[in-house]
Structure 1
Amino acid sequence: MIKIENEVKITIREDNLNPFLKDHFEPVGKEYTADTDSLEVIGEIPRDLHGVYVRNGHNQVHEPMGVFHIFDGDGMLHALHFEDGKATYRNRFVRTTGFLAEQAAGKSLWPGMLEPHLATRQGWGSMRTMKDNAGTDVIAHAGKLLATMSQCSEANRLDPISLEMLESDGWNATIAPAGICSHFKVDNDTGELMFFNFSETYPYMYYGVVDQNSQLKHYVPIDLPGVRWPHDLGITKNYSILHDLPFIFDPELLAKGERKVTFFTDMPARFGIIPRYGDNSKIKWFEARPCFILHLSNCYENGDEVVMEGCVTFNPRKPAVGKQGADAIDKMKNQFDKKQTGYRMYRWRFNLKTGKTKEEFLDDEITEFPVVSNDFIGKKYRYSYNSTFDNSKAWWLSGIKKYDLLDGTFQRYEYGEGRVGSEPQLARRLNAVEEDDGYLITLITDMNENRSECLILDAKDFSIGPVARIILPHRIPIGAHSCWVEGDRIKGERV
């Protein structure tokens, strides 16, 4: 069965030359439901693969108000539900309040992150000027998907299988208007969700915990020196790690209403280790080399230390906030040039007794979007699966590099010329014992064949090539983040 459930009209003008709306970024309007009884399957879908792979992404509908940034696009989820050797594909727009308002108006009502001064109405995000597009992150919690945007928004809830929008949780109102930011974390052992948000008003950051039944159990202000622009947080069994990084709006200019992102090389990076249910008085702050972090791989406790690992840059590229026209496009390309930013795997060790920080590179190769098994988030782990890049193209994920952090070796798989990937996820086999006993799943957009597919690899051995490839009913734009929902977590947390 291949069925078009709905079609949303794309109103972007043909003469809009923004490259982040063309080629592998080109948005789609059709929402499908399709199963593998009708879709082409190359290879065989494993019968011990049970769960849902979901990938979020920005899929702009209307002609933008001002210069379009890729993070402005309307959120669209693409999901494959696997069970008994079969799969069903669905894609749906995340129908946020902002999306529905623009559908009713037939045009864009909010500007994006590059030109917030164009706002004519109240908006979402840390600047309070954007549409809640919910296009960045997606994570499963308490039997629901939560789709969010990086600048903070509502925790938009959807059904993990049907992708239908669901009624909001009560805690969404409690934390409004600050909302919840990508990236929040879920502890599979306790079912708890840890999150943060940030804004341009005091106290600049909040930290919270939602329990396994989707009840807000903890929500406290975090005392920061000023406006910050963090992107991720880490969790361990007992702690959360908050980021205070020196890549921020220039405070003197911000006081005048001008937003200029600046990397302050004389300002140390700070990391706040807070007990899971701690408050501002319980945070221990650690200083480190000035840097910026988009995405962590994992964090864990090791004796007196909290260890944090992820991809770091010491040369972040400034987004083109306030820029216009071709200048803004050039700045945006520069921002996403991984060769220039040089994100690489890195380790921080924070000693809770001495207050000292130790740092080291784990690899020289540029990688990003690191993911680990859900069952090992917050615990000592062995494997990180990172995306590699073709630096000659904008936002082109060219393959996967599997790090064995125990013995220092790696495997890699390249998607091939003209094929761009998505953030992968590790789906452990039913009754898996070893950490990498399972499958890596990602979505590929093949510009050679003008189509997209779901790629399934054996996580233990990339060399044997794909276990299965599922050809999707349409070519999809590249996306942002993804998640894996284990079969026994589709209806709720295990605990």
Structure 2
Amino acid sequence: MIKVENEVKLTIAEDETNPFLLDHFESVGKEYTATTESLEVIGEIPKDLNGIYVRNGHNQVHAPMGVYHPFDGDGMLHAVHFEDGKATYRNRFVRTTGFLAEEAAGKSLWSGILEPHLTTRQGWGSMGTMKDNAGTDVIAHGGKLLASMSQCSEINRMDPVTLEMLEPDSWNTTLAPQGICSHFKVDNDTGELMFFNFSETYPYMNYGVVGPDNELKHYVPIDLPGVRWPHDLGVTKNYSILHDLPFIFDPELLEKGQRKVTFFDDIPARFGIIPRHGTNEDVKWFEAKSCFILHLSNCYEDGDNVVMEGCVTFNPGKPEVGKQAGNATDKIKQAMNKTATQYRMYRWTFNMKTGQTQEEFLDDAATEFPVVSNDYVGKKYRYSYNSTLNSDIDKPWYLTGLIKYDLQEGTSQKYDYGEGRLGSEPHIARRTNAVAEDDGYLITLVTDLNENRSECLILDASDFSKGPVARIMLPHRIPTGAHGAWVEEARIKGELV
């Protein structure tokens, strides 16, 4: 069965020239439900692969108001539900409050991240001006999917199987107006969800914990020196790690109402380690080399040490926020070129007794979007699966392949999608009754620009050299996306605690 459940009218002009609305960013309006009985499958879908791979992404509906940034687009989830050797594909828009308002108006009502001064309505996000597009992250918790945007917004819950929008959580109003930011983490052992948010008003950051019953059980302000733009959060068995990084709005200009993101390389990075249910008074701050971090692989405790690993840059780039001068799209391309900014695997070791920080590179290759198995989040682990990147500045956000890091042996293995093919953030689906950490499959969505189609790619997580286990051809070509998640079969209805 291949069924078009709905079609949203796109109002983007046919002569649009913004590269972030064309080619591999080009939006789709149709929402499908399709089963593998009607889709081409190359190879065989494993019968011990049971659960849901879901990927979020920005899929702009209307002609933008002002300069369009690829983080501005409307959120759309693409999900593949695996069960007993078969699969069902669905894609649905995240119908946020902002989405519904623009749907009724038939046009954009909010400007994007780069030109907040154009917005005449109250908005969402850390600046309070954006539409709550919920197009960045997605994770499963409490039997629901939680979709969010990186700049913080309302809580958007969706059914993990049908992708139907659900009623907001009871704690949605408690968090307003800051809401919840992307890169919240779930501890599979406790079922708890740890999150943060940030804004331009005091308190500049809040930290919270949601229980396995989906009730907000902890929410506290965090004392920061001023306005920050953190992106990720680390968790271990007993702690969470908050980021205070010197890639921020210039404070002097911000007082004048100008938002210019500046990297202050003379200011050290700070990492606040807070007990999972601790308060601001319990935070232990560690200093490190001035840097910026988008995404972490994992964090864990090792004796007196808390270890944090992920992709770091010491040369971040970001287009200016506010009235644009020059070619804004070129500035965005430069900022999104992760090979130029050299995001590489890195390790920070924080000694909880001495207060000292040790730092080291784990690899010289430029990679991003690192992921680990859900079962190893917050624990000592062996494998990080990262995406390799295209160095062509005219092909930003172009994930060319995968690299599997064996952090125990110090080795790696690569897989290339092929010329004209780009992937999504992968996720690990461990087999039922899996023994080893990599005993399972690596799943991602790949768009083939040569064939003008997309597919769900399944690889053996233990050995890429075997090639694809299966390729499921999707009913349409999908735009490039942001983050994804794996929902184990046993967790589809809720947390296992």
Structure-1 residue corresponding to 2:492: 490
Matched, 1:267 2:235: no
- Paired residue type of 1:402: K
- Paired residue type of 1:21: L
Structure 2 spans left out of the alignment, 5+ residues: none
Structure-1 residue corresponding to 2:119: 119
1:438 to 426, 437, 440: 440
Structure-2 residue corresponding to 1:361: 361
Q: Distance in 1 between matches of 2:135 and 2:318?
A: 21
- Counting only pairs closer than 5 Å after superposition, residues 279-294 of structure 1 correspond to structure 2 as 279-294=279-294
- Answer with 283-292 or 320-329: which moved more: 320-329
**SS of 2:366's equivalent?**
coil
Q: CA offset at residue 60 of structure 1?
A: 0.1
Deviation readout 1:247-267 (Å, 9 max, x if unpaired) = 000000000000000000110
- Counting only pairs closer than 5 Å after superposition, residues 22-171 of structure 1 correspond to structure 2 as 22-171=22-171
**SS of 2:181's equivalent?**
coil
- Paired residue type of 1:184: F
Matched, 1:416 2:418: yes
Matched, 1:212 2:190: no
Q: CA offset at residue 322 of structure 1?
A: 1.9
Q: CA offset at residue 391 of structure 1?
A: 1.1
Q: CA offset at residue 421 of structure 1?
A: 0.3
> What TM-score results when the alignment is normalised by the length of structure 2?
0.99
Query: Quick one: percent identity of the two aligned structures?
Result: 79
Q: CA offset at residue 140 of structure 1?
A: 0.2
Structure 1 spans left out of the alignment, 5+ residues: none
- Paired residue type of 2:233: L
Q: Distance in 1 between matches of 2:216 and 2:241?
A: 19
Structure-2 residue corresponding to 1:320: 320
- Paired residue type of 1:417: E
Q: Distance in 1 between matches of 2:257 and 2:371?
A: 37
- Paired residue type of 1:341: T
- Paired residue type of 1:264: F
Structure-2 residue corresponding to 1:449: 451
Q: Distance in 2 between matches of 1:338 and 1:52?
A: 29
Deviation readout 1:34-55 (Å, 9 max, x if unpaired) = 0000000000000000000000
Q: CA offset at residue 325 of structure 1?
A: 7.3
- Paired residue type of 1:349: T
- Counting only pairs closer than 5 Å after superposition, residues 346-357 of structure 1 correspond to structure 2 as 346-357=346-357
Deviation readout 1:197-254 (Å, 9 max, x if unpaired) = 0000011000000000100000000000000000001000000000000000000000
Q: Distance in 2 between matches of 1:237 and 1:394?
A: 36
Q: Contact (CA 8 Å) 2:340, 2:391: kept in 1 or not?
A: no
- Paired residue type of 1:427: A
Q: Distance in 1 between matches of 2:88 and 2:496?
A: 24
Q: CA offset at residue 320 of structure 1?
A: 3.1
Q: Contact (CA 8 Å) 1:320, 1:332: kept in 2 or not?
A: no
- Counting only pairs closer than 5 Å after superposition, residues 192-211 of structure 1 correspond to structure 2 as 192-211=192-211
Deviation readout 1:404-456 (Å, 9 max, x if unpaired) = 00000111100000000000000000100110000000000000000000000
- Counting only pairs closer than 5 Å after superposition, residues 6-25 of structure 1 correspond to structure 2 as 6-25=6-25
Q: Distance in 1 between matches of 2:318 and 2:168?
A: 34
Q: Distance in 2 between matches of 1:20 and 1:391?
A: 17
Deviation readout 1:317-346 (Å, 9 max, x if unpaired) = 022312437621111000111121100000
Q: Contact (CA 8 Å) 1:67, 1:325: kept in 2 or not?
A: no
Structure-1 residue corresponding to 2:376: 376
- Paired residue type of 2:401: G
Q: Distance in 2 between matches of 1:141 and 1:463?
A: 33
Q: Distance in 2 between matches of 1:319 and 1:456?
A: 36
Q: Contact (CA 8 Å) 2:259, 2:320: kept in 1 or not?
A: no
Q: Distance in 2 between matches of 1:320 and 1:10?
A: 28
1:396 to 395, 398, 406: 398
Q: CA offset at residue 15 of structure 1?
A: 2.1
**SS of 1:138's equivalent?**
strand
Matched, 1:425 2:402: no
> What TM-score results when the alignment is normalised by the length of structure 1?
0.99
Root-mean-square deviation (CA), in Å? 0.7
Q: Distance in 2 between matches of 1:385 and 1:163?
A: 26
Q: CA offset at residue 151 of structure 1?
A: 0.2
